[in-house]
Homo-oligomer: A and B are copies of this chain.
Amino acid sequence: MTPSFEALQSQLKQLPGVGYRSAERMAIRLLLEKPESSKALIEALSRARENVTSCEVCGTICEAGECEICADERRTASGQVCVVEHVSDLLSLEKSGAYGGSYHVLHGKLSPINGIGPDELNIDALMRRVAAGSISELILALPNDIEGEATCHYLIDLLEPHGVKVTRIGFGLPSGGSVLYADAVTLKSALDARQSF
């Protein structure tokens, strides 16, 4: 193909979940099949680049210094802060309507094999919030995998001297799940998290 087509394809391939063939299909759609959509995408992306920034408190997406949640006293009054890996995790929790406190987004989890250490994560800002004394409970809602586990332990060690209450979300069978189809890690988590009636 042509050089500028290939350059576009390689940029699209860097988007999460996009492989070589999907990037090819996207580039063809944007350039030949629906050329008007490429103009709209450039405009939307340019506008979002100008307007969108990250909340200086919790790190999520916002358009001013502080996001809507951090600016909402009803959300911050309890002092509960839910620590999540990505902004999309925050969005999932918000959609569930199951949580009324505020958040802190790490933008990743510890992963030495991928070169991601504590300095690559949004941990300094979390420690500043802890030091400021407005946090009553930190709820770690990180993934149920080895890297999520490691990140939790790192944070717990870091937070211990500050005497802040730290909890972790429960693990076990998801809603609608059955023991038959659950994997070994889920079953182990579910057994460990058993509760008496």
Contact = CB atoms under 8 A, between A and B. Distances in A.
Interface of A: 1-5, 7-8, 10-12, 14-18, 21-22, 24-35, 37-42, 44-52, 54, 61-63, 86-88, 91, 107-108
Contacts of A22: 16-17
Nearest to A32: B54
A2 B39 CA distance: 21
Contacts of A10: 44
B32 A61 contact: yes
18 contacts: A2-B52, A2-B62, A3-B51, A7-B47, A8-B48, A11-B41, A16-B22, A16-B25, A17-B25, A25-B86, A28-B88, A30-B45, A30-B48, A31-B49, A31-B52, A41-B45, A42-B42, A42-B45
Contacts of A62: 2
